[in-house]
Amino acid sequence: MAGFILAIDQGTTSSRAIVFDKNMENCGVGQEEFPQHFPHSGWVEHAPDDLWQSTLRVCRAALEAASLEASEISAIGITNQRETAVVWDRKTGEPVYNAIVWQDRRTAAFCEKLRQDGREPLVSEKTGLLLDPYFSGTKVAWVLDNVKGARARADAGELAFGTVDSWLIWNLTKGARHVTDATNASRTLLFNIHSNSWDEELCGLLGVPMSLLPEVLDSAADFGTSVESLFGAPLPICGVAGDQQAATVGQACFAPGMVKSTYGTGCFALLNTGSEPVASSNRLLTTIAYRLNGETTYALEGSIFVAGAAVQWLRDGLGVIGAASDTQALAEQAADRDPLYLVPAFVGLGAPHWDPDARGAVFGLTRDSGPSDFARAALESVGYQTRDLIDAMQADWAADGETVLRVDGGMTASDWTMQFLSDILAAPVDRPEVLETTALGAAWLAGHHVGAWPGMEEFSSHWRLQKRFAPGMLQDKREKLLKGWREAVSRTRKSLF
């Protein structure tokens, strides 16, 4: 077997496909952005057909870039933006509404009502999650209750729900398979992470009939075969994981205590806690890191909604930079005086605050403040937010030895940001040679399942350090900066409205 794997990475802003060879080297990429829809304040939607068609095109582009025929590919691995919910008709395959994206806040009132009814402890205990609009379950209920006739069709068994992996597999197999993996299921609010099954009580609570739900498989399993007409040869789909879990795999964070943090639009840090789910006392999520051969490995997760998105705001909102990479030079120009703090609560605050009503704020403005201070504050906000997550993780679960953070994602290109991150964490930050860890993780799940790629140990030994950032900041300075940050967050959370 040639050992080529086609990895699909369907993300929030773009669809990407990468062909990896048997040495796990990238040998062809396809990438496409697709439209974002914001029909009302706080609402974010994607057209399901855009997700599917862009995925199809980037797969074909990656095969072409690698100069390969589909028949030379051993398997497909899929990783995806998580929580985003699609509901479609089982007979026609037509979506009944747009995909409601993870960032969408429209179900905040429903979540608040469930909280007021005292439901959060039950939900948290079973799912490891919190009652927040971030997760899929309340989005599905919204579709059923707001699209004309949808609830009746759901009750009649005519509709299917899936996260984006399910939706893509449904289309790749022309409706033959309605499946997902345990990591994606664990983000829905409907899945019991202890029994590893859909939970009737939670489905009843949220108003989602169980007939809508996909079959849940291990992260490396037989998810179906793409129909021949799509690529010219049928391809088995053998690996599926949510993108942050796939990055955990791609970073080879297989041992309890290992942490990865991905800096894209948002930032998501996952700490491998092994075979036992650890309940957080600090408002982190307990989630499934991966499920292999029926055995579940759990993680504690900290989710930050705005990381690289703060850099996008500098570019598109303020217009003070032309490209994301300009931030570093600008931040370096900022004078080392009293800091400017940006709390980027543009869509509320995620972990550990979970405050959907908070909105962004800037503290410490003076007459001299200018674009360089804003650039620096935006990059520093990523470090401060990560520090809050790591503090919460350490309070929840004491790891042996020093914490080392393995990082990936677009923002890690910035040395300045990674150095500040290490300084403010007082811990080493390791940037690997391969930054496409998300796609690599999905490829490994599939490649290993079909016997074309090595096992966990050998895969882990392929992980290569590109650069280690070591903390250099004096303790006093770090403490002073952190005190200011915490005060800034606390003032941001006092709603103005």
Ligand X SMILES: Nc1ncnc2c1ncn2[C@@H]1O[C@H](COP(=O)(O)OP(=O)(O)O)[C@@H](O)[C@H]1O
Q: Which residues of the shown chain bind ligand X in the complex (CB under 6 A)? A: 11-14, 264-265, 308-309, 311-312, 324-325, 327, 409-411, 413-414
Nearest distance, CB of residue 444 and ligand G3P, angstroms: 18
Give the one entry of ligand G3P, ligand X, none that residue 250 binds, where binding means its C-beta sits below a cut-off of 5 to 8 angstroms depending on kind.
none
Instruction: Please indicate if the annotation marks 297 as binding a ligand.
Output: no
Residue 264 binds ligand G3P, judged by CB under 6 A: yes
The span from the first CA to the last CA of the chain, in angstroms, equals 62
**Residues 54, 261, 265, 419: which binds ligand G3P (CB under 6 A)?**
265
Instruction: Please indicate if the annotation marks 341 as binding a ligand.
Output: no
Closest CB to ligand G3P among residues 339, 348: 348
Give the one entry of ligand X, ligand G3P, none that residue 308 binds, where binding means its C-beta sits below a cut-off of 5 to 8 angstroms depending on kind.
ligand X
Give the one entry of ligand G3P, ligand X, none that residue 311 binds, where binding means its C-beta sits below a cut-off of 5 to 8 angstroms depending on kind.
ligand X
What is the C-alpha separation between 277 and 297, in angstroms, rounded?
Answer: 8
Residue 81 binds ligand G3P, judged by CB under 6 A: yes
What is the C-alpha separation between 474 and 469, in angstroms, rounded?
Answer: 15
Integer angstrom CA distances of residue 257 from 260, 269, 360, 394: 10, 12, 32, 10
Give the one entry of ligand G3P, ligand X, none that residue 81 binds, where binding means its C-beta sits below a cut-off of 5 to 8 angstroms depending on kind.
ligand G3P
106 contacts 59 by C-beta, under 8 angstroms: no
Instruction: Please indicate if the annotation marks 265 as binding a ligand.
Output: yes
Stretch that binds ligand G3P, among 214-222, 239-247, 444-452, 477-485 (CB under 6 A): 239-247
Residue 244 binds ligand G3P, judged by CB under 6 A: yes
Residue 83 binds ligand G3P, judged by CB under 6 A: yes
**Residues 7, 12, 386, 442: which binds ligand G3P (CB under 6 A)?**
12
Closest CB to ligand X among residues 29, 160: 29
> Which residues have CB under 8 Å from 63's CB, separation 6+?
6, 19, 28, 69, 70, 73, 231
> Which residues have CB under 8 Å from 209's CB, separation 6+?
154, 155, 157, 203
Residue 243 binds ligand G3P, judged by CB under 6 A: yes
Give the one entry of ligand G3P, ligand X, none that residue 102 binds, where binding means its C-beta sits below a cut-off of 5 to 8 angstroms depending on kind.
ligand G3P
Stretch that binds ligand G3P, among 31-39, 67-75, 259-267, 273-281 (CB under 6 A): 259-267
What is the C-alpha separation between 296 and 274, in angstroms, rounded?
Answer: 8
Give the one entry of ligand X, ligand G3P, none that residue 422 binds, where binding means its C-beta sits below a cut-off of 5 to 8 angstroms depending on kind.
none
Instruction: Please indicate if the annotation marks 333 as binding a ligand.
Output: no
Instruction: Please indicate if the annotation marks 53 as binding a ligand.
Output: no
Nearest distance, CB of residue 417 and ligand X, angstroms: 6
Instruction: Please indicate if the annotation marks 16 as binding a ligand.
Output: yes
375 contacts 330 by C-beta, under 8 angstroms: yes
Number of residues that bind ligand G3P (CB under 6 A): 12
Taken as a whole, the chain contains a residue count of 497
Residues within the annotated binding site for sn-glycerol 3-phosphate? 12, 82-83, 134, 243
Binding positions for ligand G3P, rule: CB under 6 A: 11-12, 81-83, 102, 242-244, 264-266
Residues within the annotated binding site? 12-14, 16, 82-83, 134, 243-244, 265, 308, 312, 410
